Amino acid sequence: MNEQSREQQLVSAARDGDMDAFEALVHLYEKRVFALTLRMCGNPEDAAEAAQEAFLAAWQGLAFFRGEASFSTWLYRLVSNACVDLLRRDGRRRASAGPSLDDEELNLDVPDPAPSPQDAAERQELREEIERGLSALSPEHREVLILREIHQLRYDEIADSLSLDVGTVKSRISRARKQLRNFLLKSGNFSPLPASKGTEKEG
């Protein structure tokens, strides 16, 4: 049985009230969900709270999930909603020093597997500046950029996840990239965000 078929079986069983099946789904997605909430919320405590709220919303809403979108797309919508609600509710923004983005996730080319101490320090500085730049974005702009550049979702998948039209998604991503670019230019650490993997496949 492939992963997709197993997931469909788990979703079907969980929708019928099987808690073990739902726990298996949580185990399947918890790392990806926490990675998203951590970058949205900026610290582990808020991230854990948002992730818990998202999974609770998933359990409560699973009976109404009909599979028009994939389970992952539906779950990402709940996760994004939980993060934005938490940030708005408490007026929180990401801390200036959040989790670092690794080079692979940002598609940064690192040809030398053993960089010099100076190269390593420069890349660490860039990652920290990118994190600070992300923290300066609004939650709405931050989430679309994270879903696109880090989680590698297509435009239509982001639109489905956030209940937006594709045009709005593209507009927010473009504005978020511009704001992040301007932030990096001002900091003297400009490195343009590369295109996402499979980036121009929008459908």
- Full domain range(s) for residue 48: 3-90
Q: Is the pTM of this model over 0.85?
A: no
Residue 196 lies in a domain: no
Based on the fold, state whether residues 85 and 23 are members of the same structural domain: yes
Residue 193 lies in a domain: no
Q: What is the pLDDT of residue 24?
A: 93
Indicate the residue type of 108. Answer: L
CATH number of the domain within which 10 lies: 1.10.1740.10
Q: What is the pLDDT of residue 64?
A: 81
Q: What is the pLDDT of residue 200?
A: 45
Q: What is the pLDDT of residue 198?
A: 47
Residue 201 lies in a domain: no
Q: What is the pLDDT of residue 170?
A: 92
Q: What is the pLDDT of residue 8?
A: 87
Decide: 7 and 58 in contact? Cβ < 8 Å.
no
Q: What is the pLDDT of residue 137?
A: 83
Based on the fold, state whether residues 73 and 7 are members of the same structural domain: yes
Based on the fold, state whether residues 84 and 147 are members of the same structural domain: no
Residue 100 lies in a domain: no
Chunked into runs of 10 residues, the chain (203 residues) has average pLDDT values of 81 90 92 87 87 92 81 87 80 42 37 58 69 80 83 84 88 89 73 48 46
Q: Which residues contact 109 (CB under 8 A, 6 or more apart)?
A: none
Q: What is the pLDDT of residue 182?
A: 84
Based on the fold, state whether residues 176 and 127 are members of the same structural domain: yes
Residue 96 lies in a domain: no
Q: What is the 3-state secondary structure (H, E, C) of the chain?
A: CCHHHHHHHHHHHHHCCCHHHHHHHHHHHHHHHHHHHHHHHCCHHHHHHHHHHHHHHHHHHHHHCCCCCCHHHHHHHHHHHHHHHHHHHHCCCCCCCCCCCCCCCCCCCCCCCCCCHHHHHHHHHHHHHHHHHHHHCCHHHHHHHHHHHHCCCCHHHHHHHHCCCHHHHHHHHHHHHHHHHHHHHHHCCCCCCCCCCCCCCCC
